[in-house]
Chain A
Amino acid sequence: AQTVTQSQPEMSVQEAETVTLSCTYDTSESDYYLFWYKQPPSRQMILVIRQEAYKQQNATENRFSVNFQKAAKSFSLKISDSQLGDAAMYFCAYRSGGRDDKIIFGKGTRLHILP
C-alpha cells in the first residue's frame, strides 16, 4: 500500500524568506501523481502544485516549486518570498496513475509566517 510521510509537524519562516517542506512517499508503482495542497483556517483544500511522476522536470507555480527525487521517493515543496497569506497547513498527497482514484494524504505540516 502507498504511504505519504511528512516528518515536520510545524515550521516557521520569516516573511520574505524561503522555506522548504519535506515529504517522502512509498509506492511500487511507476505511474503516479504527487500534489501539495494548502489548507488555510477556512479549511478549504487548495491545490498548490502537481507533479506527474513520468516528468523529470520539477513543477513550478509562481513562488512555489518542488524538488522531485523519484529514486529517493522524495517530494519537497519550496516556497520563495514567503507571505503572510502562505500561513496554513500543507499536505503532501499521492494518487495512482492507474484506475485507483483515491488520493492519499500525509499528516500535514503547519506553516507559520513570522512578520
Chain B
Amino acid sequence: NAGVMQNPRHLVRRRGQEARLRCSPMKGHSHVYWYRQLPEEGLKFMVYLQKENIIDESGMPKERFSAEFPKEGPSILRIQQVVRGDSAAYFCASSLRLAGAYEQYFGPGTRLTVT
C-alpha cells in the first residue's frame, strides 16, 4: 500500500521560471493538503483540496501560486515566476476525511531551490 508520493524530490529553478510540484495521495484518499516549510521553521498550511474543488486556500499567497486536484491524476502545486523567497520544502498530505478517519498522511516533500 503505497504512501503519499511527491515528485520531484528536488527541483531547481532560476528566478522567473515556473515550478510544478506533484502529489499523488494514498490510494482511496480524495483530500489533499499542501504545506510549506521554510528553513528552520515548522510547516505552514497553504491549501486544502478535494477532487476538482479548492476547499480552503487561506494560506496561499495571493499571486503566483495556484493548486489543483483534477478528477484524474495527481494534485499539482504551481508557482509562477519563482523568486528566491520561494525556496522551501513543500509537503503534501492526504486523508480519507471520513468520520473517525481524519488522519493526514504526509509525503516526503519536494525541496525547491530558486537560484
Q: Which residues of A contact B (CB under 8 A)?
A: 4, 33, 42-45, 47, 50, 91, 93, 95, 100-108
Within the assembled complex, what's the spacing in Å between the Cα atoms of A106 and B41?
Answer: 8
Contacts of B91 in A (CB 8 A): 45
Please give 19 more A-B residue pairs, beta carbons under 8 A apart, in addition to A45-B93, A93-B42, A103-B93: A4-B42, A42-B108, A43-B109, A43-B111, A44-B108, A44-B109, A101-B48, A101-B56, A101-B97, A102-B33, A102-B48, A102-B59, A103-B33, A103-B43, A103-B104, A104-B45, A105-B35, A107-B41, A107-B42
**Residues of chain B contacted by A93 (CB below 8 angstroms):** 42
Q: Mark B38-53, 1 if CB is under 8 A from A, else 0.
A: 0011111100100000
For residue B18, CB closer than 8 A to chain A, the reply is: no
